[in-house]
Structure 1
Amino acid sequence: METLKRDRFTCQWPGCGLMTGDTSQLVADHREPHRGNERLFWDLANLQTLCKPCHDGPKAKLEARYGA
């Protein structure tokens, strides 16, 4: 929830900017995949707010392409 508050409930994906109070439509996304690394998992600087469509769409494609 800290990440969502910090980002003002606004998707950080470039070109999106969806702002919503409906937290079921937002995801606290890891900028750098943590792969079990607890430091990366809990690092607030490694988290960003994404809306579900951006998280499940372009972000997922990017991670799949680069093996993230």
Structure 2
Amino acid sequence: MKQLAPRGRQLKARGSNTAVPVRSRDRIDTWRKWYKTAEWQALRSDVLLAALFTCCRCGFLGESRELVADHVQPHRGDRDLFFDRSNLQCLCATCHNGDKQREERRTF
């Protein structure tokens, strides 16, 4: 009997060193990795704490995971502007993902 060639991807043994897939936008926008730095995490915490975990737009009082440290002026990949404390404000996810994004799209 003739042996068939394997089809599809080959399975790897558990614990083998497999590469984690990288999203295409992460390859294009290298500044996105700045959000994962300890410097950003400390800055974000400082912004949320200074605002007493309250959205600057609607006054929503929330937990850290419900709030965003938003760039008042879009940084567009400028590292100095990205980490500028005076360029950050506390917004709830609703205000950040809705109104603020629409405003930025109009000016870009």
Same fold (TM over 0.5): yes
- Unaligned residue ranges in structure 1 (runs of 5+): none
Structure with the higher fraction of residues in strand conformation: 1
Moved over 2 A (4+): none
After superposition, the C-alpha distances for 1:43-67 in whole angstroms (9 at most, x for unaligned) are 1100000000000010011011111
**Other-structure match for 1:19:** 61
SS in 1 for 2:77: coil
Higher relative contact order (CA 8 A, sep 6+): 1
TM value normalised by structure 1: 0.89
**Other-structure match for 1:31:** 72
TM value normalised by structure 2: 0.57
Number of residue equivalences: 64
One-letter amino acid matched to 2:50:
R
Percent identity between matched residues is: 45
- Unaligned residue ranges in structure 2 (runs of 5+): 1-44
Residue number among 86, 89, 92 corresponding to 1:45 in the alignment: 86
SS in 2 for 1:48: strand
